[in-house]
Amino acid sequence: MEVIAQERAEEAAADGGESDAGAPDGGSPAQLALEAPASEDVPAHEGEEVSGVRVHLRLGFVAEWGSHPGAPLGLSLGGRFGGAHWSAVLEAWGLLPNSIGDSLDRGSLSVGSFGGAVGVCYEHPLLSGVLMGCALGRGGVMRFEPHNLSDLQAAWQPLVSGGLRVGGEWPRDSFLAFYTTLEAYVPIVRGSLTGATVGWSQFWVFGGAQVGFRVRIQ
């Protein structure tokens, strides 16, 4: 009986040693998992400014000189899409029919046009506003409508030009802002009109101006 009791005691001691050897010092794996400190979530780009795509819509009043006979007025509707500094521009514009009759002896001439423009702009903050500069390509059609001028026929003419725009917006970070621009273009496809009583061609450099409102969509 004493031999059997001694063998059982040795087996119990051996089993306890194996369980202690299977776990590292300090407790079982389950206990270590519970006691391990939870890792803190750290933002991947902590301290960096995150800038998304901005969407601005514009509605403006347009005046031009040198692009048409007389000094036509019109409207512009467009958008600007991009980041904090660089953005793409997409616009539609139209110049209302401008009647010319003072310099004509026997009638009058109505001239209007419409088209679109695309380009890229760079913006720089200044005080509470924004200064911008843009490079633009512009295309459209011009409509001549003579009245009581037998030597002229009603006609459409294509217009293509490239140019620069400078301007500003104020205030910078508001939902609604006021903007103004000055523009200069060089014609690539030049508009002209030739008749017995009328002769006109687009200036080699013509200009324009816009004033209007900008709405921030995003």
108-159 per-position pLDDT tens digit:
778 899 999 999 999 999 888 999 999 999 999 999 887 776 667 788 999 9
CA–CA separation, 139 vs 105, rounded Å?
Answer: 32
Q: Where are the domains of the chain?
A: 2-35, 54-216
Task: Identify the burial level of 214 via C-beta atoms within 10 angstroms of its C-beta, where 0-12 means exposed, 13-18 middle and 19 or more buried.
Answer: buried
- Mean pLDDT for 210-216 is 95
The structure tokens listed for 148 are 């009581």
Count of residues making up the chain? 218
Phi, psi (rounded to 5 degrees) for 157: -130, 140
From CA 218, how far away is CA 212, in angstroms rounded?
Answer: 19
pLDDT in tens, 8-28: 656 655 555 554 444 445 555
- Greater confidence, 163 or 5? 163
Residue 172, pLDDT above cutoff 90: no
CATH number of 54-216: 2.40.160.20
User: How much is the average pLDDT of 55-62?
Assistant: 95
Whether 213 and 59 have beta carbons less than 8 Å apart is answered as yes
Token pair 């490239």 is found at 162
Q: Note the pTM of the prediction, 2 decimals.
A: 0.71
pLDDT on residue 134:
97
Using only the alpha carbons of the chain, give its radius of gyration.
38
The 10 Å CB-count burial string (b at 16+, else e) for 124-138 is eeeeebbebebebeb
Give mean pLDDT, residues 60-84.
91
**On the CB side of 64, how many CA atoms lie within 13 Å of its CA?**
28
- State CA 113 to chain mean position distance: 25
Sorting pLDDT into bands at 50, 70 and 90, what band is 98?
confident
Strand-pair partners of 200: 193
